[in-house]
Structure 1
Amino acid sequence: MNGGASRGGGRAPGRPVGEITRGTTGHNRLRRADRWTAAVYRPLLVSAERPLVVDLGYGASHVTTTELFIRLRRVRPDVEVVGIEIDRARVAAARPYERPGLSFALGGFELPVDRPPLIVRAFNVLRQYGEGQAWEAWDLLRSRLAPGGAIIEGTCSEIGHRAAWVALDARGPRTVTLSARLTGFERPSDLAERLPKTLIHRNVPGERVHGFLRDFDHAWALAAPYGAYGLRQRWMAAVAHLARSWPVALTPPLGGRRRWRLGEVTLPWAALAPDSRPSA
């Protein structure tokens, strides 16, 4: 599935908002984002009444939605997860895998669920859209959230070894996270190809995200001696160096050594945000 508010104009009432994507998916492709979501939003999940989570645009297989359901149930045993797809055939193929608390529905960015979701995960659904359209999709999703709710929107590589995502709430984007399997890149700026749509075209001189990736590569080079102790130690040393000049999250649940050792780094959205929002 692919979607954006700007593509919903002119549709018949009740018709899903969005366009069909290739549907590429696979086991554990979104494990990095799931692990982060379960850690960061644990208090939200635990304290909410009847928490509902939406996996938007799960693709040709139910598998990543089912994995999200299993992982979040470890945090909140009664959480409900709904996978939403705009392709009727994909919904039909997923429905045999439903179980109590896990279901699949036809829909798009309008989120056709029975109550506002606490969390929406939308991965690899905006890459074919323009930057302005991605912002409009964010606006539409934010308008559907439950009070205090969150959106995790991002992209990842085919097997999930490189990923980046933005966390949003009703006010707008709040944080940006880069996550990588440490054997899966030569330098941190290799993750630029997985930046969310609102940032990927901003990786040019003069933009904040470009400066960040440049400095991250420099910190990675300076941390090369730590490679003798393993890539995990090198990554943590590079992130610690980077934190001297960038507002890297330093404490749980967003930051600190426990998260860094997983190949993650999180910053406030404002640190990387473009100066202006383009029109759709």
Structure 2
Amino acid sequence: MQRAQRIRAMTSAKPVGNVTRGTTNPNRLRRVDRWLAGPQAWRLKTSPRPLVVDLGYGASPATAVELFQRLVTVQPALRLTGIEIEPERVRQAQEFSTEQLNFMLGGFEIPTPEKPVLIRAFNVLRQYEERDVTAIWHSVSNRLAPQGLLVDGTCDEIGRRASWVSVQADGPISLTISQRFGSYQLPSEVAERLPKALIHRNLAGERIHEFLQTLDQHWLEASALASFGDRQRWQACCQALKNDGWPVLDGPSRWRLGELTVAWHAVAPRE
């Protein structure tokens, strides 16, 4: 299919997308959920009864249910809709439906009656071509409520290593990486779980490559702190990156969780 045809398909009124493998595990998405319930919690306060969408929740609705349980502690009145393009997955998820949690058939067109304030799409875009990502972002983010956010991310099978791009209606704004302490020797190992927009760009001359190499350099330079634990070492690494002038968008309260968020322009693919 030609690129123009793909983009037209993405913006059609019909369910759009491909059926994913559906692989999922309970607690797999805890890292991004923690971020949504933390720095992004203010978005849930922009509406009395905000809508959240879990796009492509997979063969089991477990992670959609977990997302609801985590966010409802921040905004008790929120509603969450899990969207899947595979009808049988939607049918099986109905037993988990409540007044505030429901499941429906759909894809990138986000066929909810109203616009959501948050859309989480994890391990969904990895099966698409890199050249399709921008069109998908545009299609999905156009369905966001004012001040809404799309989170496009990837993680490993048990959630120890994750990264995600935050996208607003006017485009991507940041990249977050989050890894469990003790699960890596170098921070750049997160490269295997970069979102689709970046995973093929970890090459010399690309911004994401420079970012990861600089992160590794500061991690190695902070080796003297290893005896105090990886958390202390990681916080020193992040602070050094910020001191270098990288546009780091968070601080120690997030770093201590194994996270780091930088502005998108610092890691965006070169044309």
TM class by shorter chain equals over 0.9
CA distance in 1, matches of 2:195, 2:49: 30
CA distance in 2, matches of 1:246, 1:157: 30
Cα 1:220–1:6 shift into 2, 3 Å: farther
Whether the 8 Å CA contact 1:53–1:80 is kept in 2: the answer is yes
- 2:244: which partner in 1? 245
Aligned pairs (5 A) from 1:73-92: 73-92=72-91
Cα 1:50–1:6 shift into 2, 3 Å: farther
- 2:180: which partner in 1? 181
Q: Deviations over 1:51-95 (max 9, x none)?
A: 100000000101000000011100000100000000111111111
CA distance in 2, matches of 1:264, 1:60: 28
Whether the 8 Å CA contact 1:55–1:122 is kept in 2: the answer is yes
Cα 1:144–1:176 shift into 2, 3 Å: same
The offset of 1:275, in angstroms, is 2.6
The offset of 1:16, in angstroms, is 1.1
CA distance in 2, matches of 1:6, 1:248: 37
Aligned-CA RMSD value? 1.7
- 2:230: which partner in 1? 231
TM-score, length basis structure 1: 0.92
The offset of 1:246, in angstroms, is 4.1
CA distance in 2, matches of 1:95, 1:226: 50
- 1:67: which partner in 2? 66
Q: Deviations over 1:75-124 (max 9, x none)?
A: 00010000000011111111101112000001100011010111100000
TM-score, length basis structure 2: 0.95
1:267 is aligned to 2:262: yes
CA distance in 1, matches of 2:90, 2:217: 46
Whether the 8 Å CA contact 2:153–2:194 is kept in 1: the answer is yes
Whether the 8 Å CA contact 1:6–1:137 is kept in 2: the answer is no
- 1:193: which partner in 2? 192
- 1:129: which partner in 2? 128
Number of aligned residue pairs: give it: 268
- 2:155: which partner in 1? 156
1:22 is aligned to 2:21: yes
- 1:222: which partner in 2? 221
CA distance in 1, matches of 2:83, 2:74: 22
- Whichever residue aligns with residue 274 of structure 1, its letter is P
Q: Deviations over 1:10-44 (max 9, x none)?
A: 69x75310010110111110000000011122222
Residue identity over aligned pairs, in percent, reads 49
CA distance in 1, matches of 2:40, 2:235: 23
CA distance in 1, matches of 2:9, 2:239: 50
- 1:96: which partner in 2? 95
CA distance in 1, matches of 2:66, 2:178: 18
Q: Deviations over 1:194-225 (max 9, x none)?
A: 11111111110001100010111111101111
- 2:211: which partner in 1? 212
Cα 1:225–1:111 shift into 2, 3 Å: same
Whether the 8 Å CA contact 1:8–1:18 is kept in 2: the answer is no
CA distance in 1, matches of 2:22, 2:103: 15
- Whichever residue aligns with residue 167 of structure 1, its letter is S
The residue matched to 2:75 in structure 1 has which SS? coil
The offset of 1:47, in angstroms, is 2.9
- Whichever residue aligns with residue 186 of structure 1, its letter is Q
1:258 is aligned to 2:257: no
Moved over 3 A (4+): 4-11
- Whichever residue aligns with residue 101 of structure 2, its letter is L
- 1:172: which partner in 2? 171
The offset of 1:49, in angstroms, is 3.3
Gaps of 5+ in 2: none
- 1:35: which partner in 2? 34
